[in-house]
């Protein structure tokens, strides 16, 4: 491998290592988010969401660099420049230690992304379940406070202890 290809590979490899670090941090946050959802710790959950947003912003920036570095390397090794893939680049670099390192980094990133996706889906289910329970409880409270709208004698609404503001019957 000549020096220009080696430099292009080193840039891509350093970028992939940074992406791996960020994805690992994101995985830790998503795992902790599950506990925060179960505990219903809103301040900690808010902080977790801010951290997650920061990491996603960093991921987007690193991914843009990864695409540029991969295109540069693809141009040099004769791979698909429009849509460079790590495994294709590894195939073009076959027989070099760089190819093995690209395959290793690809599989590490693939596993991290799958884990993050799975845990995030579980967290989404927890959040939806909690919101459904909360909405049901709020609707029950609202229904009990609204009172019944049944007509009494002579077209008047029948009032009683179920009317809003009267939790207990005044008769004792």
**Does residue 151 lie within any of the structural domains?**
no
Average pLDDT of the chain is 82
**Does residue 150 lie within any of the structural domains?**
no
**Does residue 143 lie within any of the structural domains?**
no
**Does residue 156 lie within any of the structural domains?**
no
> Which domain covers residue 83, as residue numbers?
3-135
Q: Which of helix, strand or coil describes residue 84? A: coil
Nearest to 13 by CA among 96, 99, 102, 83: 102
Tokens for 128?
Answer: 């939806």
**Does residue 159 lie within any of the structural domains?**
no
Nearest to 5 by CA among 77, 92, 97: 77
**Does residue 89 lie within any of the structural domains?**
yes
Amino acid 37: pLDDT: 80
- Region of 148 (left: φ > 0; alpha: ψ -120 to 50; beta: rest) is beta
**Does residue 129 lie within any of the structural domains?**
yes
Residue 148's contacts (CB-CB under 8 Å, 6 or more residues apart) are 158, 160, 162
Q: What is the CATH number of the domain that holds 103?
A: 1.20.58
Q: Is the pLDDT of residue 72 over 90?
A: no
Nearest to 42 by CA among 156, 155, 134, 166: 134
Amino acid 159: pLDDT: 55
Alpha helices in 40-151 (DSSP H): 42-77, 86-92, 97-146
Rounded average pLDDT over 124-136: 81
Q: pLDDT by residue (tens digit) across 22-44?
A: 999 999 999 988 888 877 778 88
**Does residue 25 lie within any of the structural domains?**
yes
Tell me the percentage of the chain whose pLDDT exceeds 90: 33
Q: How many domains does the chain have?
A: 1
Cα gap 172→166, rounded to integer Å: 14
């Amino acid at each position: 491998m000549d020096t220009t290809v080696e430099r292009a590979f080193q840039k891509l490899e350093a970028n992939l290592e940074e992406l791996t670090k960020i994805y690992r941090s994101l995985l830790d946050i998503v795992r902790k988010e599950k506990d925060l959802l179960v505990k219903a710790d809103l301040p900690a959950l808010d902080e977790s969401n801010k951290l997650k947003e920061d990491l996603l912003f960093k991921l987007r920036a690193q991914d843009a660099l990864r695409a540029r570095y991969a295109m540069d390397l693809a141009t040099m090794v004769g791979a698909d420049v429009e849509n460079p893939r790590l495994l294709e680049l590894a195939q073009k670099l076959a027989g070099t230690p760089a190819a093995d390192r690209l395959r290793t980094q690809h599989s590490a990133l693939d596993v991290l992304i799958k884990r993050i996706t799975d845990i995030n889906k579980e967290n989404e289910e927890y959040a939806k379940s909690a919101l459904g329970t909360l909405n049901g409880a709020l609707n029950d409270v609202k229904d009990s406070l609204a009172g019944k709208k049944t007509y009494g004698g002579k077209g008047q609404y029948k009032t009683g202890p179920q009317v809003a503001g009267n939790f207990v019957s005044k008769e004792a």
